Amino acid sequence: MGIFSKLFGKNRDNSEHKNTQNAEQTEETTQEVPQKLNIDISQTPEKFQHVADELVPFLTTILHELHILEKEIFERSQALKNPNEPNQVQPGEMELWTEFAERRKAITDPVSLKPSDNGSRSFGKPTKYEYIHNPDTTIVFIMKSAKRAVIEAYYERGVSSKNQFVLRKEEDTWKVDSKKYGFQGETTWYKDEF
């Protein structure tokens, strides 16, 4: 079976390939978001601490979906690469980038206060949000008012890093308002696309 056959499902017994591909996709997408996250709610007044039970799984589920998408697209991109022309755009690569942007937008737009056409412009290994599967990642939940919460993730990926997500309640729905990144040991946060 050639590269195109692997990517686009064309082989002699197409039904068998589709069943295998569907089983792999189902297994991949049903992987659970880590249940044993280190969650610190010490900076949140007691009256808001229960909201962490709603918002942390809300955010980590979205990050998990983005992780699975990026992982899939990266693997498909690698399969398209021609070892003889590693720096050349290969057939199907532009379509893969378009698919990635559309599927990513489908995940982030419904949960974003400010949907953006920019979003992540890359995929790779490790994925941008792979850290949610690392047991050493610490999630800090900070909520001081009824309509705003901050979730920060502290993790190691070659460098001690951190992400910050600001969530706002609009009517009865929580949405991501902004995302920033930084490095542990620094007080500076840098604007980032969600």
> What Å distances lie between residue 6 and 28, 31, 95, 100, CA to CA?
17, 23, 16, 18
Q: Is the CB of residue 194 less than 8 Å from the CB of residue 116?
A: yes
The average confidence (pLDDT) of the chain is 83
* Distance, first Cα to last Cα, the chain: 37
Q: What is the pLDDT of residues 34-84, one digit of tens each?
A: 567 899 999 999 999 999 999 999 999 999 999 999 999 999 999 998 888
Q: What is the pLDDT of residues 87-124, one digit of tens each?
A: 888 888 999 999 999 999 999 999 999 887 665 678 88
pLDDT exceeds cutoff 60 at 178:
yes
Residue 35 pLDDT: 61
Per the DSSP assignment, residues forming a β-bridge with 154 are: 138, 162
Q: Tokens 């308002």 belong to which residue?
A: 177
Whole-prediction pTM value? Answer: 0.80
pLDDT exceeds cutoff 70 at 27:
no
Helical segments of 14-51, H only:
14-29, 46-49
Residue 150 pLDDT: 98
For the chain, list the domains and their CATH numbers.
1-30 (no CATH), 34-192 (3.10.450)
Q: Which residues contact 182 (CB under 8 A, 6 or more apart)?
A: 161, 162, 163, 164, 188, 189, 190
Helical segments of 30-131, H only:
46-49, 52-80, 93-108
The C-alpha atoms of residue 58 and residue 61 are separated, in whole angstroms, by: 6
Mean pLDDT computed over 1-30: 40
Half-sphere exposure of 118 (CA within 13 A, CB side): 5
Q: Is the CB of residue 132 less than 8 Å from the CB of residue 33?
A: yes
